Amino acid sequence: MRIGLLGAGFIGMFYTMALHDKRGRDKVTVVYSRTRESAEKFARQWNVPHATTSMREAIEHDEVDVVIVGLPNHLHKEAVLAAAAAGKPVMCTKPLGRNAAEALEMLNAVEAAGVFAAYLEDLVYMPKTLKALKSVRGGAIGDVLWVRSRETHPGPHSDWFWNPELSGGGALVDMGCHCIEIARSFIGKDIRPVEVVCWADTQVHPIEPEDHAIGLVRYENGAIGQFEVSWVFRGGMDLRDEVAGSEGTIWLNHWLRTGMEMFTAGGEKEYVAEKAESATGWLFPVGDETSALGYVDMFDDVLGALENSREPVETFYDGYVVNAIMDAAYRSCESRKWEPVELAVWRGRENVENIAVRREYDDDHFLVKRERMPDGSTKVILRNKATGEISQRID
Ligand SMILES: NC(=O)c1ccc[n+]([C@@H]2O[C@H](COP(=O)([O-])OP(=O)(O)OC[C@H]3O[C@@H](n4cnc5c(N)ncnc54)[C@H](O)[C@@H]3O)[C@@H](O)[C@H]2O)c1
């Protein structure tokens, strides 16, 4: 595939590393950036044949088969609408829009134009997450009841993230989108997110938007997604997920305890890992960042989907749902109450059953709990089906 990359910043670089290094047969052929200097610098560094300061020229270029949007959040809509108007397949980084209204406009534009579109949510393609999703979908942990997803670090690397006019908000919109989609992936993207409660505050930085937020998303089947995002966390980037099911548990640590731990008194002269705060003492380097963050598997999926005319794992519709959940979270911060998730378009299941389970013990009782005691006996806690009375006995 010949790629027109919009944006020559941090994500543009990660995307290009993943595209050029791994699949090999894909190539960024045109790069667009605001200034000629940065477009040409990027083109030289990554061996890109054409550099331009015109977004339209990059999109319409005859050596571009697919457009990848890696621009600040306020430019996603303009870029996607331009790609749709040009009839070019388009892939957009997260968050899809600054809010659900923008995301819906983008979804409608690509669908009306009939162009392929993918939402580039790399963190659902992290190798450990792919493995965990396979286990969950195979039934290994029963019904998913609670997914806790965390992304925290000391704050983003460019000015526009900190300006809510351009970004759409603070840590919540920047990283909540990842955590929400991770939870949806485990719970089931066809299960309707019903309501959200969220706390957010500006604890450290002299900025308007929140630099810390924690929220709960309740799904129609009773499952809970919990997101924890922060721009005030010290010590690098903490990227962890926990999945609690009726029959099992999965804990995932993607960044600070990945199995590689290194002590250096003299100091690491090279880059350590994304958002690492120190280069001496105990370090937690990451073997292959583009792969560990999911970029390699993500491009394998989305470019494969485009080639084979199938849907990618992450669609613009998913991006829209995520934006709608974040909108509800912002409303909840204001009202200090649970707020409904407003979805003008719902494409999942309706009236799903609640996942609460009732385990049979005998004709008269449900089993509440069974536990082996220190003396070797097994104690059971029971609930009488008729009266609701709770009792215990030794089995
Ligand atoms: N894991 C991920 O998926 C991930 C990680 C980081 C960033 N992102 C997303 O990627 C997008 C870009 O973020 P980034 O970290 O690369 O930012 P960045 O600041 O590093 O780079 C942004 C690029 O856009 C250009 N730009 C900035 N303002 C512009 C303007 N007004 N007009 C035209 N071009 C402009 C910059 O020159 C630069 O080339 C954001 O939407 C961000 O949320 C995704």
Distance 116 CA to ligand 1 centre (A): 22
Around ligand 1, the residues with Cβ closer than 6 Å are 7-12, 33-34, 38, 70-73, 75, 93-94, 122, 158, 160
pLDDT > 70? residue 66: yes
| Ordered DSSP codes for 240-278 | EEEEEETTEEEEEE-SSSSS--EEESS---S--STT---
State the pLDDT at residue 234. Answer: 96
Atom 19 of ligand 1, nearest CA residue: 158
Angle ∠(376,378,383) on CA atoms, nearest 5: 165
Mean pLDDT to the nearest integer, 191-204: 98
Mean pLDDT to the nearest integer, 188-210: 97
CA atoms within 13 A on the CB side of 345: 16
Omega before 95 cis (within 30°)?
A: yes
Residue 22's pLDDT band (boundaries 50, 70, 90)?
low
Residue 293's pLDDT band (boundaries 50, 70, 90)?
very high
Distance 117 CA to ligand 1 centre (A): 19
| Topology of the domain covering 2-122 | Rossmann fold (3.40.50)
Q: What dotted CATH number matches 124-290+313-340? A: 3.30.360.10
State the pLDDT at residue 357. Answer: 81
Distance 7 CA to ligand 1 centre (A): 6
Give dist(CA 356, CA 377) in Å, integer: 28
Enumerate the domain spans of the chain: 2-122, 124-290+313-340, 359-394
Q: Phi then psi for 260, rounded to 5 degrees?
A: -115, 115
pLDDT > 70? residue 208: yes
pLDDT > 90? residue 17: yes
Percent of the chain with pLDDT over 70: 99
Mean pLDDT to the nearest integer, 144-153: 98
Mean pLDDT to the nearest integer, 59-72: 98
159-187 pLDDT, tens digit per residue, is 999 999 999 999 999 999 999 999 999 99
Mean pLDDT to the nearest integer, 18-31: 88
In testing the pocket of ligand 1, which one of 30, 34, 98, 165 has its CB within 8 Å of the most ligand atoms?
34
For the CA of 158, the closest atom of ligand 1 is 19
pLDDT > 90? residue 202: yes
Count CB neighbours of 371 within 10 A.
10
In testing the pocket of ligand 1, which one of 54, 93, 166, 289 has its CB within 8 Å of the most ligand atoms?
93
Atom 34 of ligand 1, nearest CA residue: 34
323-355 pLDDT, tens digit per residue, is 999 999 999 999 999 999 999 999 999 999 999
Residue 25's pLDDT band (boundaries 50, 70, 90)?
confident
Residue 52's pLDDT band (boundaries 50, 70, 90)?
very high
* Per-residue tokens: 65: 């088969």
CB 126 within 8 A of CB 296: no
Mean pLDDT to the nearest integer, 285-290: 91
Atom 28 of ligand 1, nearest CA residue: 72
Give dist(CA 96, CA 283) in Å, integer: 33
Give dist(CA 237, CA 162) in Å, integer: 18
Distance 261 CA to ligand 1 centre (A): 30
Distance 227 CA to ligand 1 centre (A): 23
Distance 72 CA to ligand 1 centre (A): 4
